[in-house]
Amino acid sequence: MAVVVLCLVAWEVVARSGIISKALFPTPLETWQAARSLWRTGVVGSDLRASLGRVAVGFAIGATVGIAIGFATGYSKACSAVLGPIITFLRPIPAIAVVPLSTAWFGIGQKGKYFIVAYAVVLAVWLYVHDGVARIPPVYVRVARGYGLGPIKILGKIVLPATGPSIVSALRYGSSVAFLALVAAELGGAQNGIAYRLQVDSQFLQTGRIFVGLIELGILGVAADFLIAKLGNRFVHWSGA
């Protein structure tokens, strides 16, 4: 709370100092008033529902696919040889560069936005999971096989517990990437959503409303990270994180 108060005080001081034009840098009170206005008109609720729906679906698809591919490439050298170079090629291509292709494939509907978010999340999650699986000491698997454990039991008793912390880290990173990709997705033909509203407000230089949108994205990102971290600590309690 002390940090929040200090940030608000610094924000107020900078806004009133004249260093930056007041038209470009609103005070906390002006931003709050803009937020209340957006809330009363229902804009905040509508945009939140639209953006959270896109993030939730895209993240769920991307995380599932990313974890699956990460296990495949980390556990199997053959899969790594086939899929590894493809994913390594795709990783430097940002989500915003995929928007034109997504629009051509899916139009400006929801499917294209899900695709963009999922695309970014897959690439983010894959790296952590692949690295976590690949770093499992081979002696663990050899000992398990020596005690007669089959592939399914090795996966459940050795691989999953050993890579649990990496999966949690992957999901935390993937959640932040999902919100970054959301901005790219909503700039590509959306009619609602937080990033769409940012674009509209910027055209009319409504900086108070722009600050509201940025704060919304920050709060949502923090909340998602907090939730995943808490659930991760509960289900991966042996990691000591």
CA distance 211 to 209: 5
CA distance 147 to 228: 35
Lowest mean pLDDT among 91-100, 141-150, 202-211: 141-150
Largest CA distance in the chain: 73
Tell me the per-residue pLDDT of 6-42, one tens digit each, with 9 for 90 and over: 999 998 898 888 888 888 899 999 999 999 999 999 9
Looking at the predicted structure, is the pLDDT value of residue 67 above 90? Answer: yes
* CATH architecture for residues 31-236: Orthogonal Bundle (1.10)
Give me the pLDDT at residue 240, please: 55
Tell me the per-residue pLDDT of 177-228, one tens digit each, with 9 for 90 and over: 999 999 999 987 778 999 999 999 988 889 999 999 999 999 999 999 999 9
Distant-in-sequence contacts of 204-213, Cβ < 8 A, 24+ apart: 205/23, 205/24, 206/34, 207/23, 207/24, 207/25, 207/26, 208/26, 208/30, 208/31, 208/33, 208/34, 209/34, 209/38, 211/26, 211/31, 211/34, 212/31, 212/34, 212/35, 212/38, 212/44
